[in-house]
A and B are shown apart, each in its own frame.
Chain A
Amino acid sequence: MDVTQILFWFLSALAVVAAVGVVVSKSPIYSVLWLIVVFFSISGHYILMNAQFLAIVNIIVYAGAIMVLFLFVVMMINLNADAEPAKHIYLKIAGVIAGMCLMLVFIAALGHSDDIKISLAKGSDIGLIKNLGKALFNQYVIPFEISSVLFLSAMVGAIVIGKKDEPQNKPII
Chain B
Amino acid sequence: MEIKWYIFLSVALFCIGIIGALTRRNAIIVFMCIELMLNSVNLLLVAFSKMHLSGMGAGFPQYATDAQLFVFFIMVVAAAEVSVGLAIIVMMYRNTHSIDINFLNRLKN
Q: Which residues in A have some Cβ–Cβ distance to B below 8 Å?
A: 4-5, 8, 12, 15-16, 19-20, 22-23, 28, 31-32, 35, 38-39, 42, 45-46, 49-51, 53-54, 57-58, 61-62, 65-66, 69-70, 73-74, 76-77, 79, 83-85, 87, 91-92, 94-96, 98-100, 102-103, 106-107, 110-111, 113, 115-120, 122, 124, 126-127, 131-132, 135-136, 140, 143, 147, 150-151, 153-155, 157-159, 161-162, 164, 171-173
B52 closest partner in A (C-beta)? A126
Contact A99 B86 (CB under 8 A): no
| Residue of chain B at shortest CB distance from A29 | B28
The answer on a CB contact under 8 Å between B77 and A162 is no
Q: A73-B89, A120-B1 are in contact. Are A49 and B47 (CB under 8 A)?
A: yes
B23–A23 CB distance below 8 A: yes
- Select from chain A the residue with minimum beta-carbon distance to B88: A161
Q: What A residues does B93 contact at CB under 8 A?
A: 77
Look across to chain A and name the residue whose beta carbon is closest to the beta carbon of B12.
A16
A163-B44 Cα distance, complex, nearest whole Å: 38
B50 CB to nearest chain A CB (Å) = 4
Given contacts A23-B16, A116-B56, 4 further A-B contacts (CB under 8 A): A8-B5, A69-B82, A87-B24, A173-B109
Count of chain B residues near A, Cβ 8 A:
77
CA distance A116 to B6 in the complex (A): 11
Partner of A85, one of B19, B25, B68, B87: B25
Q: Which residue of A lies closest to B106 (CB)?
A: A173
Contacts of A99 in B (CB 8 A): 15-16, 18-19, 22
The residue that A118 contacts in the complex, of B36, B43, B54, B72, with Cβ under 8 A, is B54
Distance of A140 Cα from B47 Cα, bound (Å): 21
A124 to B51, CA, bound (A): 12
Beta-carbon contact of A28 and B9 below 8 Å: no
Q: How far is the CA of A4 from the CA of B67 in the complex (A)?
A: 22
**A57 and B72 in contact (CB under 8 A), knowing A42-B43, A116-B2?**
yes
**Which residues 1-42 of B have a CB within 8 angstroms of A?**
1-9, 11-20, 22-26, 28-29, 31-33, 35-36, 39, 42
Q: Are B9 and A15 in contact (CB under 8 A)?
A: yes
B68 touches A70 (CB 8 A): no
